[in-house]
Structure 1
Amino acid sequence: MQLLNEFPPRSIANDAKLTATQARIHLIIDRGKLTQDDRDYLKVLGMLVYDYEEHHEPMPKLKGAELLKALMEESNLQPNDLVSILGNESAILEILDYKSQLTEEQIQELASFFHLSPAASFA
């Protein structure tokens, strides 16, 4: 109840409220050992942030090698981490250097690996 009284979860209407909500999230996470109430409260705040960002901060439309690079960076992956999906490392580097295109099978495998829709992501 203390969390709710100090910072009641409300729809985020502007960047100032977004920043305040994000600061509250970080404050709770930084405390360390979280209770189930903390986790539930963070989940609600996270949904509010997600909803605001979905409507006000659209993600850039990345495709092909650009998307693959971004996903690899986000997941801290190196080209050799994708050998089982894309073949040998030189084939991966050719894709990342725009010298080669992803095949339909590779797109399906990558979409499955990164939990994305193949049609909306790599094609």
Structure 2
Amino acid sequence: MTLTFNPENYKQLLITYLPRVIKTEAENEKALAIVEDLMHRKRTPEEDELYQLLVTLIEKFEQEYYQPNQQNNPQSMLLFLLEESGKSLTDLQAVLGSTTAVDEIVQGQAKMTPEQARKIADFFHVNPSLFTE
């Protein structure tokens, strides 16, 4: 059974959480708490959309706040998602089908290919653009 996206349910989530561009550390902490809650449960399509939106907003804030002159760091995002989700490198190896590829990406020795970024994004239910520089 395929779950379908319900715009009315998504609207109610948006009204409840009122996501917006994050400008302060307090707003970031609030968004992180929501993401952590959503991360540890089976999400509806609407919750998954909210989750992806919040991860994007958090990443944008943290990139500007903590690393204002650095580009997106796919390795850091991957490590963050692994830690927050409780998933392991072994889980990631199953997704990519290669221990070597995972080790090289995690250690910063290789950049993710677009295909690897898509597979990892699907695994974490996030936008693949989080893993591009």
Q: TM-score scaled by structure 1?
A: 0.52
The aligned counterpart of 2:67 is none
The aligned counterpart of 2:103 is 93
CA distance, structure 2, for counterparts of residue 116 and residue 109 of structure 1: 10
Percent of aligned positions with the same letter in both sequences?
30
The residue type paired with residue 116 of structure 1 is: V
Return the structure number with greater relative CO, CA threshold 8 A, min gap 6. 2
Residue by residue, what CA displacement relative to the aligned partner does 1:20-67 show, whole Å, maximum 9, x if unpaired?
xxxxxxxxxxxxxxxxxxxxxxx89x726x66x834335313531110
- 1:26-105 equivalences in 2 (<5 Å): 47=17, 54-57=22-25, 58=28, 59=58, 60-61=62-63, 63-105=73-115
Structure 1: where are the runs of 5+ without partners?
Answer: 1-42
CA distance, structure 1, for counterparts of residue 89 and residue 78 of structure 2: 10
RMSD: 2.6
Larger radius of gyration between Structure 1 and Structure 2? 1
CA distance, structure 2, for counterparts of residue 95 and residue 122 of structure 1: 11
CA distance, structure 2, for counterparts of residue 64 and residue 55 of structure 1: 22
Q: CA deviation at 1:73?
A: 0.3
Q: CA deviation at 1:98?
A: 0.4
Structure 2: where are the runs of 5+ without partners?
Answer: 1-12, 29-57, 64-71
The residue type paired with residue 56 of structure 1 is: T
The aligned counterpart of 2:125 is 115
Runs of 4+ in 1 over 4 A off after TM superposition: none
Residue by residue, what CA displacement relative to the aligned partner does 1:79-119 show, whole Å, maximum 9, x if unpaired?
11112222222321111110111111011111111111112
CA distance, structure 2, for counterparts of residue 78 and residue 89 of structure 1: 12
**SS of the counterpart of 1:54?**
coil
CA distance, structure 2, for counterparts of residue 47 and residue 54 of structure 1: 13
Aligned residue pair count: 78
